Structure 1
Amino acid sequence: MGILSRTSYIIRSKVNSLLNRAEDPGETLDYSYEQLQDELQNVKQGIADLTTQKKRLEIQKRRLEENVEKHNEQARQAVEQDRDDLARRALEKKKQKMNQIEGLEQQIADLEKKQDGLIEQKNQLQQQIEEFRTRKETMKARYEAAEASARVNEAMTGAGEEMEDISRTIERAEEQTEEMEARASALDELRESGALDNAVSDQSDLDRELEQLSTDSAVDRELDTLKSEMGDGESEETTESTDSVDEPADGDMSLDDLEAEVAESEVDSELEELKEEDN
């Protein structure tokens, strides 16, 4: 089989498949019934035409029969007047008319035979049409019942196209819901860990580290000051009880204060260096 033959075969098979799916048995049966009705109407029209033609021939036959009687009367009159020649002519015309009548009678008989045959065909066709109409209505009712049952079963089992679309819609909705729930859970974890606040903040990591370092330095200085105050109090108590250690002069700095000042200056210098690097 050549390429063109195979292509033609495939196209015909596809078209036939499409036609089968598009074909409605109810519409096809109704169309066939209408075709039979048209055929029956054609048969009835043929019978009517034959009847009309036969009536015309019968009218022509009656006219010829009247002429035969007329010619017969003319022949009698001619004989009474001893005009054999006129009587012969009248009888000749009578004979011609009688021959025509015989021909018409044969034609009329043939038409009647055809008419009877058409009437018989018409009766048979009409009977077949009535039987076909009964079968048509029965088949249409069966098809409609089967179609309704199929639709119900498709709706119940979800096999129909609409149910398939609904199922796919539900699946997509479930997937989107699960995705949104996972996103919400992740955002909750980020918010609880503080990462979300850092992500939405306009501070850089370096700014946050410097701020934390400054906070730590302030806490360290306050702690050193607290220790110094507590140490001075203990020192005064010891001096009062022993009177062996001189009180420091006004304006003199303690060792703890000196260490705190040195630490603070070092932290400030480091902060300045970091800021310059950041800029």
Structure 2
Amino acid sequence: MGILSRTSYVIRSKINALLNRAEDPTETLDYSYEKMRDELQQVKQGIADLTTQKKRLEIQKRRLEENVEKHNEQAREAVRQDREDLARQALEKKKSKMNQIEELEGQIAQLQSTQDDLVEKKNELQSRIEEFRTKKETMKARYEAAEASTRVSEAMSGVGDEMSDTARAIERAEERTDEMEARSAAMDELQDTGAFDDALSDKDSIDRELEAGRSSSEIDSELETLKAEMGKGSAPETDETEADTADVDVEEDLDVETDVNDEEVEAELEELQEEEKSAE
């Protein structure tokens, strides 16, 4: 097999495979049924045309028969008038019309025979079409039932095209979800270990530990100072008199400070009232 022959064979096989996949048996059956009905209609039209031709010949034959009768009367009248010449002419025309009638009768008989054959074939074709229509509807019902059953089976088994696409989409979604969850967990872990701080800072681990120690010492010192101010610290014991005197001084300072604060509040309230009046 040459290259061109093989190429042609491959192309025809590909086209045939595409047509088989694209072909819908129900549509093919309907198309075949419509073609058969078209053929039946053409047969009926042929019978009608043939019948028309036969009727035209019958009309022509009837007119010739009328002419035959007319020529016959002409010949009798010519004989009564002793016009043998006219009688002969009338009989000659009568003979010619009789020959035409005989020829027409043959044609009419042939057309009638053809018409009878066509009517018989038409009836046979019509019966076949009705039989095909019954088979067509049965085959369509069987095909649609088989197609529905196949779709249900594919859906339940998950081997259909749409179900396969859905399964792949779910699988991809699960993979993306697992990836995002793993990435989120990794980010949390890096955040807890301070890896992000390491990336954004030029300090090493020793600098951070020293800085944390300094911060802790400052907090401890501030805490001790606060305890000492509130008399809860571990400051050296003093004379009770000195302590009482210190308490009195603190109370006086607090009273003075309270008085000052009250006076400042009242002064601010008066200023606000004056501003509101001026605004009105």
What's the counterpart of residue 195 of structure 1?
Answer: 195
Partner of 2:129, secondary structure, is helix
Do 1:187 and 1:196's aligned partners in 2 also have CA atoms closer than 8 Å? no
Partner of 1:66, secondary structure, is helix
Q: In structure 1, what is the Cα distance between the partners aligned to 2:64 and 2:87?
A: 18
Q: Which of 201, 204, 212 matches 2:202?
A: 204
CA shift in 2, pair 1:71/1:187, >3 Å: same
Listed as ranges, the gaps of 5+ residues in structure 2 are 218-280
Deviation of the 1:188 alpha carbon? 3.2
Q: In structure 1, what is the Cα distance between the partners aligned to 2:139 and 2:42?
A: 27
Are 1:4 and 2:39 matched, yes or no?
Answer: no
Q: In structure 2, what is the Cα distance between the partners aligned to 1:77 and 1:218?
A: 158
Q: Residue type of the partner of 2:152?
A: V
What's the counterpart of residue 117 of structure 1?
Answer: 117
Q: In structure 2, what is the Cα distance between the partners aligned to 1:19 and 1:100?
A: 60
Q: In structure 2, what is the Cα distance between the partners aligned to 1:159 and 1:43?
A: 50
1:219-253 deviation line (CA, Å, top 9, x unaligned): 99xxxxxxxxxxxxxxxxxxxxxxxxxxxxxxxxx
Do 1:51 and 1:115's aligned partners in 2 also have CA atoms closer than 8 Å? yes
Do 1:50 and 1:111's aligned partners in 2 also have CA atoms closer than 8 Å? yes
Do 1:71 and 1:94's aligned partners in 2 also have CA atoms closer than 8 Å? yes
1:9-67 deviation line (CA, Å, top 9, x unaligned): 11110110000000011111111111111111111111111111111111111111111
Listed as ranges, the gaps of 5+ residues in structure 1 are 221-279
Q: In structure 2, what is the Cα distance between the partners aligned to 1:81 and 1:72?
A: 14
What's the counterpart of residue 234 of structure 1?
Answer: none
Q: In structure 1, what is the Cα distance between the partners aligned to 2:75 and 2:214?
A: 164
Partner of 2:82, secondary structure, is coil
Q: In structure 2, what is the Cα distance between the partners aligned to 1:96 and 1:86?
A: 15
What's the counterpart of residue 76 of structure 1?
Answer: 76
Greater mean alpha carbon deviation, residues 211-220 or residues 163-172 = 211-220
CA shift in 2, pair 1:181/1:214, >3 Å: closer
What's the counterpart of residue 270 of structure 2?
Answer: none
Q: Residue type of the partner of 2:56?
A: R
Q: In structure 2, what is the Cα distance between the partners aligned to 1:30 and 1:163?
A: 31
What's the counterpart of residue 165 of structure 2?
Answer: 165
What's the counterpart of residue 260 of structure 1?
Answer: none
Deviation of the 1:183 alpha carbon? 2.0
Q: Residue type of the partner of 2:58?
A: E
CA shift in 2, pair 1:49/1:103, >3 Å: same
Q: In structure 1, what is the Cα distance between the partners aligned to 2:122 and 2:19?
A: 34
Do 1:65 and 1:97's aligned partners in 2 also have CA atoms closer than 8 Å? yes
User: What TM-score results when the alignment is normalised by the length of structure 2?
Assistant: 0.72
Deviation of the 1:89 alpha carbon? 1.3
CA shift in 2, pair 1:165/1:105, >3 Å: same
CA shift in 2, pair 1:192/1:91, >3 Å: same
What's the counterpart of residue 231 of structure 1?
Answer: none
What's the counterpart of residue 174 of structure 2?
Answer: 174
Q: In structure 2, what is the Cα distance between the partners aligned to 1:57 and 1:147?
A: 58
Deviation of the 1:218 alpha carbon? 10
Q: Residue type of the partner of 2:178?
A: E
Q: Residue type of the partner of 1:205?
A: K
What's the counterpart of residue 49 of structure 2?
Answer: 49
Are 1:152 and 2:149 matched, yes or no?
Answer: no
Deviation of the 1:80 alpha carbon? 1.4
CA shift in 2, pair 1:84/1:192, >3 Å: same
Do 1:71 and 1:91's aligned partners in 2 also have CA atoms closer than 8 Å? yes
User: What TM-score results when the alignment is normalised by the length of structure 1?
Assistant: 0.73
Deviation of the 1:110 alpha carbon? 0.4
Q: In structure 2, what is the Cα distance between the partners aligned to 1:155 and 1:22?
A: 22
Q: In structure 2, what is the Cα distance between the partners aligned to 1:101 and 1:145?
A: 64
CA shift in 2, pair 1:59/1:217, >3 Å: closer
Q: In structure 1, what is the Cα distance between the partners aligned to 2:214 and 2:79?
A: 171
